[in-house]
């Protein structure tokens, strides 16, 4: 079946009616990717704005006793505060991830992959925005973290989106589902 036949369908034998065009399912998947990415990005950005406005330079807020609190922390490094001297490298990595996702989106026909890549894209954009626009300067900015579980690192919603997207990608890979919608068995 040619690409054109897949998109518009093929008429039945003796069918004089013209087939109605069918929207390629890849476009719908790209829309899902963009909606998920936009939602994750805006949710992350909004929560960080609230944290900076109402929580920074104030005592932490206990949410669930000693198990979870909100505490404003500026993190120039990566997860768990590692690599504080490599902020520019994390900025480049986030930018590269964004470019790779955008390039991969052209071949995207899988809904679960669209969700996973949307989470990754939204999270990467959220943290990249901090790296570009927050102090101490462009490409050296510290990420605003605020979710502080007991005995664990402080993180933000962008980090959560990245982790959830990554876990979903691992699960999809184990199931053999590719971004183009094909399933393979190894």
Give the number of other Cβ atoms within 10 Å of residue 180's Cβ.
Answer: 13
pTM for this prediction: 0.81
pLDDT band at 89 (very low <50, low <70, confident <90, very high): confident
Question: 109: Cβ–Cβ under 8 A, 6 or more apart, which residues?
Answer: 25, 26, 29, 179, 180, 181
Mean pLDDT lowest for which of 76-85, 113-122, 139-148? 76-85
Quick check: 75 pLDDT over 50?
A: yes
Report pLDDT digits (tens) over 10-51: 545 555 555 554 445 556 799 999 999 999 999 999 999 999
Phi, psi (rounded to 5 degrees) for 181: 95, -10
Catalytic residues: 145, 159
Question: 168: Cβ–Cβ under 8 A, 6 or more apart, which residues?
Answer: 112, 115, 116, 119
Query: Rounded to whole angstroms, how far apart are CA atoms 7 and 20?
Result: 10
Residue-level pLDDT at 2: 52
Residue 82: both structure tokens together: 């590692």
Report pLDDT digits (tens) over 134-178: 988 888 889 999 999 999 999 999 999 999 999 999 999 999 999
Inter-residue contact 149 to 61 (CB < 8 Å) = no
Query: Rounded to whole angstroms, how far apart are CA atoms 56 and 169?
Result: 34
Residue-level pLDDT at 4: 43
Across the chain, what does the average pLDDT equal? 86
Per the rule left: phi > 0, alpha: psi between -120 and 50, beta: everything else, 176 is left
């Amino acid at each position: 079946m040619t690409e054109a036949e897949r998109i518009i369908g093929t008429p039945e034998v003796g069918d004089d009616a013209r087939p109605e065009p069918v929207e390629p399912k890849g476009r719908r998947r790209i829309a899902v990717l963009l909606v998920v990415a936009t939602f994750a990005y805006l949710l992350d950005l909004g929560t960080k704005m609230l944290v900076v406005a109402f929580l920074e330079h104030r005592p932490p807020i206990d949410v669930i006793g000693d198990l979870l609190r909100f505490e404003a922390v500026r993190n120039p490094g990566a997860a768990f505060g590692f690599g504080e001297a490599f902020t520019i490298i994390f900025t480049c990595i986030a930018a590269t991830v964004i470019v790779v996702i955008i390039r991969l989106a052209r071949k995207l026909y899988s809904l679960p992959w669209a969700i996973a890549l949307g989470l990754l894209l939204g999270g990467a954009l959220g943290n990249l925005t901090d790296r570009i626009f927050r102090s101490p300067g462009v490409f050296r900015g510290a990420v605003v973290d605020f979710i502080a579980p007991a005995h664990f690192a402080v993180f933000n919603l962008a980090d959560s989106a990245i982790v959830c997207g990554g876990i979903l990608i691992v699960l999809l890979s184990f199931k053999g589902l590719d971004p183009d919608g094909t399933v393979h068995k190894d």
